[in-house]
Structure 1
Amino acid sequence: MSLDCTDIDKIAHLARLAIAPDDRTRYATDLSRILDLVAQMAAVDTTGVTPMAHPLHMAQRLRPDLASEPNQRERFQSIAPLTEGGLYLVPKVID
């Protein structure tokens, strides 16, 4: 697909970008190359290819879910204005 300077002006307007008039030709060339590459990739026959969520078949390494800080709920709630049953009470903001 070949883009020209008027196409770049339209794209820049839609994207709310300010592009210098001297740069429009370079942007048109670069975007045309990108669109050509996308068209080339779309033309590849992918029949029978299973979609992947990630290019590598790996399990994510997770750290053990262990508490790293001591429970200080009573200490924090002792200085709170209002608490009840371990919860902080706040003023109603939505009727």
Structure 2
Amino acid sequence: MSVDKATVKRIAKLARIRIDEDRLDPMAGELNNILDWVEQLSAVDTDGVKPMTSVVDHCLHWRADEVTDGNKRDDVLSNAPDAEFGFFAVPKVIE
């Protein structure tokens, strides 16, 4: 695929980017270089390669899902400046 001056102008218009006329030819060359590089990547044989999200192979360490710190409501509320009916009490904001 080759990008010419008219294509660069159209891409710039669609992206709402203003490009001066003297920058259209160099931009076309840069876009052609990028497309050539992407075309080289498609030539690489990736059969049998598993998709990955990181170059480092790691896994998450799981822990047992156990409640270890429950039933501490009174201890938590002892730190509150004001508590009512087992909940934090806050000043009224809306009148």
Q: What is the TM-score normalised by the length of structure 1?
A: 0.63
Shift of 1:5: 0.5
For residues 21 and 71 of structure 1, the distance between their equivalents in structure 2, rounded to whole angstroms, comes to: 67
Question: How many percent identity over aligned positions?
Answer: 35
Unaligned runs of 5+ in 1: 61-69, 83-95
| Corresponding residue of 1:6 | 6
Q: Specify whether residues 71 and 23 from structure 1 end up closer, same or farther in structure 2 by C-alpha distance, changes over 3 A only.
A: farther
User: Which structure is larger by alpha-carbon Rg, 1 or 2?
Assistant: 2
Higher relative contact order (CA 8 A, sep 6+): 1
Following superposition of structure 1 onto structure 2, how do residues 6-85 of structure 1 map, counting pairs within 5 Å?
6-58=6-58, 73-74=88-89, 77-81=90-94
Unaligned runs of 5+ in 2: 61-78, 82-87
The count of aligned residue pairs is 71
* 2:50 aligned counterpart, secondary structure: coil
Q: Specify whether residues 49 and 71 from structure 1 end up closer, same or farther in structure 2 by C-alpha distance, changes over 3 A only.
A: farther
Deviates more, 1:8-17 or 1:49-58: 49-58
* 2:32 aligned counterpart, secondary structure: helix
* 1:78 aligned counterpart, secondary structure: coil
Q: What is the TM-score normalised by the length of structure 2?
A: 0.63
Q: Which consecutive segments of 4 or more residues in structure 1 shift more than 3 A?
A: 70-73
| Corresponding residue of 1:87 | none
Deviates more, 1:50-59 or 1:2-11: 50-59
